[in-house]
Amino acid sequence: MNDLFIQATREGFRYPSSRGELTTEQLWQLPLLGKGGNKGFDLDSVARALHATVRENTEASFVDTSPNPRLREAETKLEVVKHIISVKQEERRAAEAQVERANKRRVILDALAARETEELNRASRDELLAKLAELDS
C-alpha cells in the first residue's frame, strides 16, 4: 500500500471532482458521500469518475497489445481512492462502535445509580442516620 501512495505523491496525481482537481492529500478531507450542497464532492463521486475513465480506456485490441499508460494511471488512482474509502469506512465503524459502547456504559451506570437509590430507600431510619454519621466523620 505504501508503494501506491509513494507513486501518487511522486507523480503528483490529481483526481477529478465537481470542484476541480484534487491532490492525494485532499482526498482524505472528503466525506464518503456528499450531503446537501456537497453532493458530488465526495469520495464516491471521485471513485465513480475514475472507474468511468478506466472503462473508457479498457478497449480490447487483439492486434495492439502495448500497455495503455492512461489506463494504468487511472487504475492506480482508483486503487488509492478505494484504499482511502476503506480506511474511512473502518474509522466510521470504529467510531460508531465506540458511541454504542459509551451508550451501553451510561445505561449500566444509570441502572447502578437506580439500584443504589432503591437500596437507600429501603434502609431504615437508623441505618440512614448511621450512614450519614459515617460520611460526616
How far CA 6 is from CA of 27, 29, 39, 47, in Å, comes to 15, 19, 30, 19
Range of the domain at 80: 2-136
99 pLDDT above the threshold of 80 = yes
Q: What angle do CA 32, 23, 51 make, to 5 degrees?
A: 55
pTM higher than 0.85 for the full model?
A: no
pLDDT, one tens digit per residue, over 22-77 is 999 999 999 998 886 677 799 999 999 999 999 988 776 777 777 778 888 999 99
Task: Provide the number of structural domains found in the chain.
Answer: 1
What is the mean pLDDT of the segment spanning 72-83? Answer: 94
